[in-house]
Amino acid sequence: MAAMTKWERVRAALAGQEVDRVPAGFWGHDYLREWTPQGLAEATLERLRQYDWDFIKVNPRATYYAEAWGNQHQPSGDVAHGPIMIDYALKAADDLERIAALDVHRGPFGEQIQALRSIAGALGSEVPFVQTVFSPLMVVGLLAGGDLAAVRRHMREDGEALHRALSAVSETLAAYARACLDAGAGGIFFATVDWGTYDNATKEQYEEFGRPYDLPVLAAVAEAKLNVLHVCRKNNMLESLLDYPVHVFNWAAEQSGNPSLADILKKTDKAVMGGVAVPTMRGGTPERVAAEVAEALAQTEGRRFLLAAGCSIPPLTPEANLRAALAALPAVPVKCRRQTKPTKPTKPTKPTKPTKPTKPTKPTKATKATKKD
């Protein structure tokens, strides 16, 4: 088949249609350059061009949402380490009252939109890219300085104030997600991060404080072509979030308590994104990376499948491992199921035996004509 454009390849993979090869993309932080819109755009484009990915997940610093509501963070100055927290906004229940909806065209959100415009300007419609958007509950967790126990305490003791704060964050993120599309993103990469795991929240807590605030954000970008749900951590809740309106699910399938790629493909008609474990990308051999890609291809048959890592890859991930992941993808078309395994032509139905000619019924004895005349 003719070579596809990157958008065609991604769209076909999402729809379970034939692809010329499985689309691939890996992402990670650039802790030194992610602090300015120009730096983030440059780092994103540079990585894309280095590996010629089929799609790109923009990887902003994780703290930008919280900075918009008053957290203070600063660069570590180290290529391998993320931002350092100086101060955080949510220290007591009273602080929940101060979390109000924001104008997404200003401050840290405005800077992200500026970065997306630069990326879109450079790529045109050539490569699908998505912007990371954390879930409202995750943003509140960041505002609490990452103290998840404090957030759970607010769930128990300050439910009403927490609901109001989550509502303001959700409204802001919905407007922001919309603005990301307007800036040229193909969709969002919606990440539950700390909260999409039974290690940190019960199903009931997520149903009350997670889901009702997640859905408006996804609804705001319903017409996007590539929305991803990323469910981080082990013991994840992915299986209870499969009804979220996205095109593809991404998670660390190898972590304990998590479903495999094959498990999820059986339960949804959406696509799956993943295949290589982050520790393998960072510290494994190229042969090990290739073996994990092969296993992912075996589980998915290369259908409804986009190759990636289960989460962002560390900055010092060896180039040889990224190259090995790409090289392990067969450069042959993956046909859609119907074309690969044509259903057996149904046997022509046996001609039904001609029914025995029914014996001519004996002519009934002609009744004696009675001469009446």
- Interface with Zn ion (CB under 5 A): 232, 311
Least distance to Zn ion, CB of residue 232, Å = 3
Least distance to Zn ion, CB of residue 330, Å = 28
Sign of CA dihedral 175, 202, 193, 287: negative
Nearer to Zn ion, 37 or 310 (CB): 310
Nearer to Zn ion, 43 or 62 (CB): 62
The H or E element that residue 192 is part of is none
Question: What is the rounded CA–CA span in Å between residue 148 and residue 144?
Answer: 8
Nearer to Zn ion, 4 or 173 (CB): 173
Q: Which pair of tokens denotes residue 105? A: 């065209």
Question: What is the rounded CA–CA span in Å between residue 82 and residue 17?
Answer: 39
Nearer to Zn ion, 33 or 233 (CB): 233
- List Cβ neighbours of 18 (8 Å cut-off, separation of 6 or more): 1, 12, 333, 334, 335, 336, 339
Decide if 140 contacts 134 (C-beta within 8 A).
no
Least distance to Zn ion, CB of residue 230, Å = 6
Nearer to Zn ion, 116 or 232 (CB): 232
Nearer to Zn ion, 110 or 315 (CB): 315
Least distance to Zn ion, CB of residue 40, Å = 18
Question: Angle 236-239-241 (CA atoms, 0-180°, nearest 5)?
Answer: 90
Least distance to Zn ion, CB of residue 5, Å = 28
251: left (phi over 0), alpha (psi -120 to 50) or beta: beta
Least distance to Zn ion, CB of residue 212, Å = 22
